[in-house]
Chain A
């Protein structure tokens, strides 16, 4: 498993820091769109660096399908603390990764004051991370995420651009 020998710190630190980052961008930027764009860009850079580090002893992954498999089974469990639940597709360019207990958002409580829409800003940075990881492995993909009723159930949609995934 990648990153196993690395040193660890508490997940609470990362969760709280991420929450501070989200509130920093939402208050420092004039529009929510620009806040989201920048958080995604930051996540992208982090994801790129992580994927580069994690694949350095891995041999070269070239096939988009291998990259997807790498992200699903190796990258995700390390970065998001647990393996995702399922990987599905509806056609050649749309793939779905479902995580029913997504640790980066699972502690958010949705109340009358915090809506699911507010909580969705917490998905922007993680989407950027995944997108950056694909980019580091030469796959141009767009990544979106939505909550499935609660902030702990997340569905990530991977849209491949450019290089199409060959059907097998």
Chain B
């Protein structure tokens, strides 16, 4: 009893500490990538505190954190004070709470550790803060929707037109993209038969076919929706520095701003975890990590953690490269993409997955045939969307109209 409690507390401490550190270092990585892509060198001066050791700038997160702590925390007079304080707390709390059900590895052999804690069972220790939650995906979704509240409250409470515009944009965007996000996940849930993230990884490890390979269309839809949910470029309309200064956190400064920024990075980390766990096999890699239900040894446990972290790092690297690769969508394009492209594609994927799963169960359809069906559906769906081209809008001025006509169009 106490052993379980202590284990849970240790896992929570590891998770929260690790996530905060990871977020800080991902800020550094983001600044490096930004600099390198722009042919600059990036932060490379701050090293060990109080020494002259530079360490490629690895001390930068510490300096950034100190800067934020010592900055004046200014609350403008025109804000709704209660909501203004509540918003960053809410967004960070929900971003952190999501990780309660997200596995950060497979499991480690439990015997020695449980022995110290006075527990004589030899069950392995699962690397999830709350193991065995069988509605984990629902929980993730519920909390990621609450994150929208943080944005909305922040924008509303700021009582500033830029914040308000950012808030409006983000509420529309995040709600619109939750639907394709859900449709992308539904395919995985249908194919694996579980909402539990551990089970989803185990299914992929046992079959050896990652869901990204089995349902490429679902992967694409989920990936794009995850970018939009994390409000990363090319979907960063809630912030859009060039248009809205800072969007919903324009009026924030000091620690409250830091909470918002950390929460944004946590959303990106969450999105990477979900992409990796749902579609890229989680901790599984062919030939080195073993099957899902196999007995865990220290070697396989550590290998699995390394594989999972490596995949997440690569996905985050992709997130950061994408930021500098493509321009931001216009708002109408964003909405068209959500409702006219992502939603139908998600539906098509779900239907295809449902049919293949049913055929696998009833008629013994071979797995490779269902993978082939998945790819065919992906290519066909994509071609159909390209042919219909719902995003190609003509917004040139109508030349045959008189000038007042053009004005009235605007």
A associates with B: no
**Residues of A bordering B, CB below 8 Å:** none
**Residues of B bordering A, CB below 8 Å:** none
